[in-house]
Amino acid sequence: MTPIDEMPLRKIDHVRFFVGNARQSAYFYRNAYGFDVVAYAGLETKVKHEAGYVVRQGGITFVLVSPLRANHPDASRLVLHGDGVSDIALQVDDVRRAYNLAVERGAVGVIGPREEKDDFGVYEYATIRAYGDTTHTFVNRDRYHGAFSPGFDPIDPSRYNPSTYHPTGLLAIDHIVGNVEEGKMNEWVNFYRKVLGFEQLVSFDDQDISTEYSALMSKVVQSGRGKIKFPINEPAHGKRRSQIEEYIDFYGGAGVQHIAMATNDIIKTVRALIANDVSFLRVPRTYYDNLRDRVGDIKEDIEELAELGILVDRDDEGYMLQIFTKPVQDRPTLFFEIIQREGAKSFGKGNFKALFEAIEREQAIRGTL
């Protein structure tokens, strides 16, 4: 039996962000990215130590959490990391079994298997450490029918008016990228393979992609029959300071670099996001000059892609369209990718050069190149 069969991971259940002001973050994810705010935990729901907002769009669930006092066990994260992803929760069939197997294989346990009960059923979870201060929580909600988990109530409709909610067409998390310290990529790839039963993807990105441009190395692991994809980056030496080093410097260690969210109409999604003042990285107009030669026939209008700054790449299986936001906090750390896959299963290697040059221009403005 392969490790994958021993520890079936279904999908990403949710991503937990630890932030300075969850109330305001919820407003940002709702009104800029088009997430619906669906549940709330805090003093009014008898949660004394933190406030949490569950935001959801399509199959994507984010939980935005802020400490209410300095003695919150994670309060120091905010000084060290700023806002960022604290946990990637994975849905499993059997929380206890997943946790015990992971720990047996070398994972560091954070919270042992727990059941939390309320009027809506039983919510099961357990947490292990991943790279940096990031954790993975195994979740099973098969016996839970509440708003999110015990402690959370449905959002008060007087706070957010449904008539002012406008989704942007984001459907699912495509992949979540982690930046780890120099020399640690293989260690974490092995963690996902050996401890959590992921397979390493043989992809175009599975090689040294350090160049004269912002240098990094990247490998991709996947589980859940491809529903969970985690590329892992480490800095490599180039002529300039690697964007990964910049991240690790400002985040204070390894952590989540970007979350790619899938849409099936990237033009419509990006138009909506731009209308909401989401800012994207831009590549020079010349990127589009020989695009047709590079990627062949695509159904989208290249003029429209150029106007919006959407990138295109092709592999053996098809093509894909992608665009990257600027960091979503003042620190140059977490950002988002919007992706539309038309058959391609890779991650846009053909765009790295143009993209890294765009990032380097931003780094130069920040004085961190």
Tell me if 81 sits within 8 A of 133, measured CB to CB: yes
Tell whether residue 195 is a contact of Fe ion (CB under 5 A).
no
Give the pair of three-digit tokens for residue 24.
């305001």
Between CA 243 and CA 361 the distance in angstroms is 11
Tell me if 311 contacts Fe ion by CB under 5 A. Answer: no
Cβ neighbours for 334, distance < 8 A, ≥ 6 positions apart:
83, 84, 85, 255, 256, 257, 258, 259, 327, 328
Q: Which stretch binds Fe ion (CB under 5 A): 10-18, 104-112, 301-309, 329-337?
A: 329-337
The answer to whether the CB of 176 falls within 8 A of the CB of 64 is: no
Binding status of residue 174 toward Fe ion by CB under 5 A: no
Interaction between residue 209 and Fe ion (CB under 5 A): no
Among residues 132 and 231, whose Cβ is nearest to Fe ion? 231
> Is the Cβ of residue 124 or residue 313 nearer to Fe ion in the bound state?
313
In sequence order, the 6+-apart residues with CB closer than 8 A to the CB of 251 are: 81, 82, 84, 132, 179, 331, 333
Residues 6+ apart with CB under 8 A from 45: 151, 152, 153
Give the integer Cα–Cα distance in Å for 1 and 21. Answer: 46
Q: Which is nearer to Fe ion, 337 or 360 (CB)?
A: 337
Interface of this chain with Fe ion, residues 257 to 286, rule: CB under 5 A:
260
Assess 246 for contact with Fe ion (CB under 5 A): no
Quote the least distance from Cβ 15 to Fe ion, whole Å: 15
CB of 288 to Fe ion, least distance (A): 21
Please say which residue, 16 or 229, places its beta carbon nearer to Fe ion.
Answer: 229
Is residue 126 a contact point for Fe ion (CB under 5 A)?
no
Q: What residues does 323 pair with on adjacent strands? A: 338
Question: Among 66, 337, 338, 346, which residue interacts with Fe ion (rule: CB under 5 A)?
Answer: 337
Shortest CB 218 distance to Fe ion, Å: 9
Closest to Fe ion by CB, 189 or 260: 260
Q: Which is nearer to Fe ion, 260 or 281 (CB)?
A: 260
The C-alpha atoms of residue 111 and residue 90 are separated, in whole angstroms, by: 14
Q: Which is nearer to Fe ion, 128 or 232 (CB)?
A: 232
Task: Candidates 50-58, 124-132, 141-149, 335-343: pick the segment binding Fe ion (CB under 5 A).
Answer: 335-343
Nearer to Fe ion, 87 or 174 (CB): 174
8 A C-beta contact, residue 248 and residue 228? no
238: its two tokens:
């180039």
| The one segment of 55-63, 143-151, 213-221, 336-344 that binds Fe ion by CB under 5 A | 336-344
* CB neighbour burial string for 149-176, b if at least 16 within 10 angstroms, e if fewer: bbbbbebeeeebeeeeeebbbbbbbbbb
Number of residues that bind Fe ion (CB under 5 A): 2
CB of 294 to Fe ion, least distance (A): 19
Q: Do residues 234 and 183 make contact, with C-beta atoms less than 8 angstroms apart?
A: yes
Q: Is 133 in the site for Fe ion (CB under 5 A)?
A: no
Contacting positions for Fe ion (CB under 5 A) = 260, 337
